[in-house]
Amino acid sequence: MVSTLRDVALAAGVSPATASRALSHPELVAPARRAAVEQAAHALGYRPNRAARELSSGRTGHLCLVVPDVANPFFASLVKGVQARARELGYGVFVADADDDPRLEAELVAQLGAQADGTILASPRMSDDAVAHLSADRPFVLVNRRHEAHASVVVDNTDGMRQAVRHLHALGHRRIGYVGGPAGSWSDARRRDGLEVAAHGLHRLDVVDLGHFPSSRGGGTAAADVVVASGVTAVLAHNDLVALALMDRLRSRGVRIPEEISVVGHDDTVAVLGSPRLTTIAVPLARLGRAAVDRLLDDEPGPDTPLPVELVVRASTAPAPAGGTADAYDDELELEGHRA
């Protein structure tokens, strides 16, 4: 049979209260008794009943993590980090997949969040307004998105763009396209900021905004044709999945990568599966997940500096084609280009 705290107390010759304290607040109990209790607990294979503990203390020992799609490698890695850190701290993690439906996300936050000591939400697509109305009574942390109403952990999206643009510029690219993520995405907006900053600092550089695209393979396929039409010699994609599909479509239109067009992905989730291997902006997803847990459980909010990202150069970026199209196109066909 499963033994209770009573059994432990009985075996150790103390009251249930002392047994409880010995296990939960050891510093309040005399060393001798504490040892006796610990030994009895161990001998009986005692495991505290979390339901009873919760009912009495109000704390569940659970964390709740809501993501749009666990099968998306970005979120899967995030789950891994959250899970690892939570385990270290003795928490179990409810993982809720919202199946890419922002309304379901809100519902899950309300439902499962009520059964946990805190909730972590990764939701690039929920509206700011909807985010504002999420439960603020319990600890709550937003991942890779800021919002005035909540705590958050983010990565340095802006700096990632800066690194990538500098890399491409050094390779001689002078006309670089940006395949944006869905409109309204917080990180997409930050990346556009980074693009602007980067473009201003470099010589003779056009950054061309190719528009907003779905952050799926379909987005990359659609973007490819826009890329070709824009005359850029390099592209930054919103994520690796998009970049891979983009390369696929480019190739099938006869464009050689990286000889004719260089491609940069984002996140480093599936970049290594591409052919050629994708140069990408690596995001420390597991660290981000761990940081989310710490932030959730931290009493003092802290400064919340963005986590650093790192450009990983692989085979999909190369020097700009000689006599590249950059100058040829310089004064035509400029879709909202930023100019240095």
| Binding stretches for DNA (CB under 7 A) | 2, 4-6, 14-18, 20-21, 23-25, 28-30, 32-34, 46-49, 52-53, 55-57
DSSP secondary structure letter of residue 207: E
Q: How far is the CB of 85 from DNA (least distance, A)?
A: 22
Query: Closest CB to a second copy among 60 and 280?
Result: 60
Query: Closest CB to a second copy among 101 and 294?
Result: 101
Query: Closest CB to a second copy among 187 and 316?
Result: 316
* Binder of residue 30, out of DNA, a second copy, none (CB less than 5 to 8 A by kind): DNA
Query: Closest CB to a second copy among 77 and 230?
Result: 77
Regarding beta strands 279-282 and 92-97, do their DSSP bridges make them parallel or antiparallel, or are they unpaired? unpaired
Give Rg (Cα) of the chain: 26
* Binder of residue 103, out of DNA, a second copy, none (CB less than 5 to 8 A by kind): none
Q: Where are the alpha helices (DSSP H) in the chain?
A: 5-12, 16-24, 31-44, 50-57, 73-88, 102-113, 128-132, 157-170, 186-201, 217-230, 240-252, 285-297, 325-328
* Binder of residue 4, out of a second copy, DNA, none (CB less than 5 to 8 A by kind): DNA
* Binder of residue 331, out of DNA, a second copy, none (CB less than 5 to 8 A by kind): none
* Binder of residue 21, out of a second copy, DNA, none (CB less than 5 to 8 A by kind): DNA
**Cα separation, 233 vs 66, whole angstroms:** 39
Q: How far is the CB of 94 from DNA (least distance, A)?
A: 19
Print burial letters for 16-46: b (CB count within 10 Å at least 16), e (below 16). Answer: eebbbbbbeeeeebeeebbebbbebbeebeb
Length of the chain: 340
Q: How far is the CB of 94 from a second copy (least distance, A)?
A: 5
